Amino acid sequence: MTSRVDRINRGLAIALGLFFVAVPWLLPLFASNFWVNVTAEILIWSLLAASVNLLFGYVGLLSFGQALFFGLGMYGVTIGVAKFGLGFWPAFGLEIGVSVLMSFVIGIFAVRLTWHYFAIITVVFSQIFYFLALTWKSVTGGDDGMSFSMPPMLSVGEFEISLTDQTYQYFFILVVVALSFYLKYRLLQSPLGKALIAVRENDARAELIGLNVYGLRLTAFVIAGFLTGTAGALFAFLGRYASASYMFYQVSGEGVVWTIIGGAGTLLGPVVGTGLLIILREELSTYWEYSLIPVGVIVILAVIFAPKGIVGLYNDLLERWFGADDESRPVSRPQPSEPARLLSRGE
């Protein structure tokens, strides 16, 4: 039986989806087309935050190295088009292959560690590739970056669809981000997702019931690298540009902040945190040069008064207001499986 809380959340998710679909026509009625591009950036950066959230919120690994895969996604597309002369989809495929391969290679070493050791090693790998991209100017363009001309996404005779059109560009970004979040949702609902959560809760107990903790962490790391690389490719398509500066660890830190503010361990927390902080930054920067100061104050207050993030606070309030009505109804609950019983008993 669907609970009242589930119905409310489903309704809000549908409303949010309809808002994002209507953005190209809705926002110009109240503001400039500039905000359509800002919304596209929010979608892209929320995908980066979603990869941080997958590792931190569902596996318990805090990564400060996602900027590496974001930069690889940008350079995979840019070099593919500018240097190799690839079309739109081959360049997109090259980005996916590079991000997945590099995340697998780095993950082999990184996921052997946990806690602050994992955070440190991800920063180290990120900085190594940042300085490599910074100095290898003949290939990457260094800090100046490199640009490319947008190839058509679809071309049949004289008919052509290109992301140079703002509306096509926005909807392409929206579709890719929506599909990525849906795949993440399906992953978390699958047995693999439940195993990842078990590892987060207690890796020792998870290993005792037969779960391959190392393999699960490596799998999550590769998936997170894929999500981040896809976000980097979308950002390259948005700006027709790639720069080594986007591989700096500060980009990873912003993803961590967006995740914590929105709500680690929640599906839409990265979207909420990213959207809130980017909108605040854009609005305040028009009035004050030091706009990051009030943004920082807001972040501190959110961490103090909403330690579970905005979505976590919302979920708690929703359960407090409507959860009691749902709990009063008789519900037949499935019996836990043997692994779940072992985990709850600590065996």
Selection from 281, 248, 282, 34 nearest residue 145 by Cα: 248
Residue written as token pair 């836990």: 336
Quick check: 14 pLDDT over 70? yes
The DSSP secondary-structure symbol of 242 reads E
* Contact by Cβ (8 Å): 110, 68: no
So what's the pLDDT on residue 170?
A: 93
Instruction: Report the percentage of the chain scoring pLDDT > 90.
Output: 42
Taking alpha carbons only, the member of 267, 237, 72 closest to residue 171 is: 237
Of 91-100, 156-165, 319-328, give the range with the top mean pLDDT.
91-100
Q: Are strands 241-242 and 146-147 parallel, antiparallel or unpaired?
A: antiparallel
Cα 241 to chain centroid distance, Å, stands at 20
Q: What pLDDT is attached to residue 326? A: 55
Q: pLDDT tens digits for 226-274?
A: 999 999 999 999 989 999 889 988 888 889 989 989 888 888 889 999 9
| Least confident span in 47-56, 164-173, 284-293 | 284-293
Q: Which of 287, 49, 86 is nearest to 180 (CA)?
A: 49
Is pTM beyond 0.85? Reply is: yes
The domain limits of the chain are 32-246
CA 71, CA 59: separation in Å to the nearest integer? 23
Render pLDDT for 177-205 as a digit per residue (tens, 0 to 9): 999 999 999 999 999 999 999 999 888 89
Closest CA to 131 of 120, 140, 119: 140
What is the CA 247 to chain-centroid distance, rounded? 15
